[in-house]
Structure 1
Amino acid sequence: MATDSTADAGETYEALVEHVTRMTNVGNAAGLLNWDQQVMMPDAGTPARSQQTAALSAVHHEMLTDDDLADSLDALDGADLDDEQAAVVREVRREHERATRVPGDLVEEISETSSNALPVWQEAKREDDFEQFAPTLEKLVELKREYAEHIDPDRDPYAVLFEEYEPYLGLDTAERVLERLRDELVPLIDEISDSDADLASPFEGTYDEAAQEELVRDALDTLGYDWDRGRLDTAPHPFSMGTQFDARVTTRFTPEDPLDALGSTIHEFGHATYTQGLPQEHYGTPLGESRDLSVHESQSRLWENHVGRSRPFMDLFAPTVNDHLGTDVSSRELYEAANQIYPDNLIRVEADELTYHLHIILRFEIERDLISGDLDVSEVPQVWNDKMDEYLDVRPDSDSEGCLQDIHWTNGAFGYFPTYSLGSVLAAQIFAAAEDDLGGLDEDVRAGEFDPLREWLVENVHRHGCRYTTDDLVREATGEAFTADHFLDYARGKFGDLYGL
């Protein structure tokens, strides 16, 4: 028979879950408005949309900092909870404690400024004029510094902001991994650049958008995307968003390069299949939410690179490519085209699998210095171009190809970029663990059998939601601590073979 204190704790926990579920629904509604703004909203809709998203952000913040929620968390401190309940309380308490330190009017101001920043950035990029965007960026930097200072005035503000996206691995881990990638990938890329291998694209001319869309829809079908809980649209900057009941993907089409749409669609499929794999019975609570952006990115990179850019997948999918595009391309040609290394590429989202990380390191270093005050906003174009020259031996001719190419800073998403590389590193570690457990993944992919891998990922990653911290989830899924070893071994092996190193 339950004691009164146990019964009280149970009632308090249920009240907390009810509150958190309502709060989550507010956040998910804001997410749908953001999706609409990037995909379908008329251009003139920004003024109203800015107020709408700001209002929802304010409501969400009020619910997260609510006194009743604080009382519930206090009452559950030290209570006899099972592991899943303790995980929910841990995650809610972490978010609550951070949020209570930030004034609601600052949260609303950041949201409204971010929403208004989107069309400013779009116009500045269109006009190739960073100075148009500079005042908005400066305002966002100031607001996010203030945000970090409210949370913890005694810590590095960038470390505080990084924890918005990766709360458990720590900035020191991110810095250590990024430095190792820089130190080991730069010489590998130099070797590739000096090699005699010629991995030319087999595609010539342009390819109709409708044909490309049919191609990527076939790819989503092949991989097992659940259309009953998703949809495909286009966006200037492809992204995925949603819940386990509605996980949407977007892509974009480049007339001269159909592999760009194929790669970006498979990438977003990885995000969406993670979201669709979250436990439905825990919707609205941390147990039904993705762990963090590093883990989320690991799922997109796993499907994009370890599956979609693999030779077995090209063996499977080459006939489909040829059917839709009217080409006669071999699987080997597709494999080589999908894995070309071209350091002279200026655009991150079009970068190859290796040089991509130098794009991330560049952005990480710039935004870290912006937040710390070591770099002025007016200096961003020059520093950006200098770092591109240093890391990739290429220099942008325009701001549009340089510091205006990404959308993230319009959202005030400082601290986001490192999770891309952390996710790629984790993808290799998780894929190696899946291969060890399942065996024969190459044969499965070549045969179009993706259920074993997808089900393994659901069992070992997706179904846990936020039950584990990031480092504990990595250990649960792979049996070892987070490490870059698997990624670097994979990179040396794959590209060494392709380029005859």
Structure 2
Amino acid sequence: MATNSQEDDLSTEAAFETVLEKSKRILDLEKADFMLRWDSDVMMPEGGGPARASQRSSIAAAQHRYRTDEDLGRALKILEDAELTRDQVAIVREVRREYDVETSVPSEVQDRISEVTSGAHEDWKRAKEAKDWSAFAPTMERVVDAWAEWADHVDPDNDPFETLWTKRSGYHAQRYVDLETVDQIFDTLREELVPLIAEIHDSDADLATDAFTANDPYDVDAQHSLCEDTLDLLGVDWDRARLDEAPHPFSYGTQYDVRISTRFSEATPMVALQGVLHEFGHTAYTHGLPQDHYGDPIGEPRGLGVHESQSRFFENHVGRSEPFWELFMPTLREHFPQLADVSPQEAYEAVNQVYDDNYIRVEADELTYHMHIILRTEVERALVAGEIGVEDVPEMWADKTDEYLGIRPENDAQGPLQDPHWAGQIPAFITYTIGSVLAAQLDAKMREDLAVDDLIRTGEFEPIHDWMTERIRRHGQRYRTDELIERATGEPLTAEYFVDYAREKYGELYDL
């Protein structure tokens, strides 16, 4: 007969195997949903929407069942006081967190969210094409109501917006960055960037802002080839990635298979190029996650804010740097000979111009970008709090755009329909600013260890990847977000490094 100790050991081992098995099922379903989302934007025929919505709803329902499985609950109970390794503790912590949240939500509420959000993306695409917010408003109202009800079940005594920010499950979760930290970062950016943008608009500096647009058109096939060469230069592993066109750039996948997308404009190659630089950062993070932990939380990214730090690092701290354009102009000229007379300095100035009339977030410069994020978040908070109705969104959006950027959208496609995120998520945009300020913090720390500009100038990206993998990528969800950031940079998340970077860079560009 086994001793009690042996029985306990066996029970602990079996319980942990149950946690691993359920985790793998949940994550396999999530990745399958990624592929369905990729297909809907890249390959699916126009009439495929209704079936696709049903398929994605079924996957969401199956994920919820696994997250709330009774066997999983029993296993987590057994592991409460068990002696576990560091990695086992992290895995159990993350699975338990989702189990506790998901079991607090009635199945009919979860089913309603799945039903509403599964078809919302197709509704958004049709409304955006028609430039008509009213065509999407009923869907948006259902999304807001469903998530507000979810938040009320998860934590009825808390601000529902904060619950939605801190308690979500799956890929879209942003754990362990509290709303107070977000508010502090937003306050700093409002205080520092709004007057800096105003100074720039008043500057007499003469930047080569039309270096690319004055030489259009740009063949789309040539742009696609340029994007492939750019990914080669940065170090993409084509055995585990592919590039396609989509209405809105994204990167979804696993350590073994990442789907990258961008979009093209014949007026300038920068729309596609900056999209690819951004999505490459996401891809590099995903490829850098430990393969031996595929299917458990350590093989998963540490939230969208950290994920975004990787994409914003490559888009901005690499792709908008002087050394990059010294390296990259010969490649660009090979694809587009009409740029033969454009110098690296002129290209650098063109990609860093601060626009007077930027309406589109994904095409925004580094400074006005955050005003886009802040205005969207203020709209979200007003919606969740019931301070406005969905029919009021275009007006509030226009007023906030006027307040922060001095412009008003010409139509709803330039306004609240420009992003697809509200088809499934609220809040949907905070992570972009979290990622940007973290990218600047990581960049500052990296420069203590590496000659970053020299590496970029010579196209030697491997040391940069090694540094990011050691500090961020290989850890997955081993550490809480706040702990990961402190381990990587030596201090808590702050906007100060981004502000210093912005002042120095744009002060020099605009002779401030």
Would you say 1:261 and 2:269 are equivalent positions?
no
User: What is the alpha-carbon distance in structure 1 between the residues aligned to residue 242 and residue 163 of structure 2?
Assistant: 35
Contact 1:54 1:109 in 2 (8 A): no
1:233 corresponds in structure 2 to: 244
User: What is the alpha-carbon distance in structure 1 between the residues aligned to residue 55 and residue 370 of structure 2?
Assistant: 36
Gapped regions of structure 1 (runs ≥ 5) = none
Contact 1:209 1:255 in 2 (8 A): yes
Please point out which of 112, 115, 135 is paired with 1:112: 115
Please point out which of 96, 99, 105 is paired with 1:96: 99
Would you say 1:400 and 2:413 are equivalent positions?
yes
Gapped regions of structure 2 (runs ≥ 5) = none
In the TM superposition, what are the counterparts of 1:304-319 in structure 2 within 5 Å? 304-319=315-330
User: What is the alpha-carbon distance in structure 2 between the residues aligned to residue 183 and residue 5 of structure 1?
Assistant: 57
In the TM superposition, what are the counterparts of 1:309-458 in structure 2 within 5 Å? 309-326=320-337, 327-328=339-340, 329-411=342-424, 413-438=425-450, 440-458=451-469
Cα distance, 1:489 vs. partner?
0.6
2:210 corresponds in structure 1 to: 201
Q: Which digits, 9 at most, give the CA deviation of each residue in 1:301-321, with x for residues without a partner?
A: 001100111100100000000
Q: Which digits, 9 at most, give the CA deviation of each residue in 1:361-403, with x for residues without a partner?
A: 0000000110111111111111111111111110112111111
- One-letter amino acid of the counterpart of residue 201, structure 2: S
Q: Which digits, 9 at most, give the CA deviation of each residue in 1:32-70, with x for residues without a partner?
A: 111111211111111111111111111110010000000
- One-letter amino acid of the counterpart of residue 310, structure 1: S
Moved more, 415-424 or 22-31: 22-31
Please point out which of 262, 272, 282 is paired with 2:283: 272
- One-letter amino acid of the counterpart of residue 294, structure 1: G
Contact 1:26 1:60 in 2 (8 A): yes
Moved more, 213-222 or 199-208: 199-208
* Count of equivalent residues: 499
1:214 corresponds in structure 2 to: 225
Cα distance, 1:4 vs. partner?
4.0
Contact 1:46 1:115 in 2 (8 A): no
Q: Is the partner of 1:233 in helix, strand or coil?
A: strand
User: What is the alpha-carbon distance in structure 2 between the residues aligned to residue 294 and residue 118 of structure 1?
Assistant: 22
Contact 2:260 2:283 in 1 (8 A): yes
Identity of aligned residues (%): 51
- One-letter amino acid of the counterpart of residue 276, structure 1: H
Would you say 1:11 and 2:3 are equivalent positions?
no
Measured on the aligned residues, the alpha-carbon RMSD in Å equals 1.2
User: What is the alpha-carbon distance in structure 1 between the residues aligned to residue 129 and residue 7 of structure 2?
Assistant: 65
Would you say 1:248 and 2:251 are equivalent positions?
no
Contact 1:55 1:108 in 2 (8 A): no
Contact 2:309 2:437 in 1 (8 A): yes
Q: Is the partner of 1:213 in helix, strand or coil?
A: helix
User: What is the alpha-carbon distance in structure 1 between the residues aligned to residue 107 and residue 57 of structure 2?
Assistant: 11
User: What is the alpha-carbon distance in structure 1 between the residues aligned to residue 54 and residue 440 of structure 2?
Assistant: 42
User: What is the alpha-carbon distance in structure 1 between the residues aligned to residue 131 and residue 452 of structure 2?
Assistant: 45
User: What is the alpha-carbon distance in structure 2 between the residues aligned to residue 195 and residue 33 of structure 1?
Assistant: 47
1:481 corresponds in structure 2 to: 492
Cα distance, 1:419 vs. partner?
0.7
Q: Is the partner of 1:315 in helix, strand or coil?
A: helix
User: What is the alpha-carbon distance in structure 1 between the residues aligned to residue 357 and residue 288 of structure 2?
Assistant: 38
Q: Is the partner of 2:354 in helix, strand or coil?
A: coil
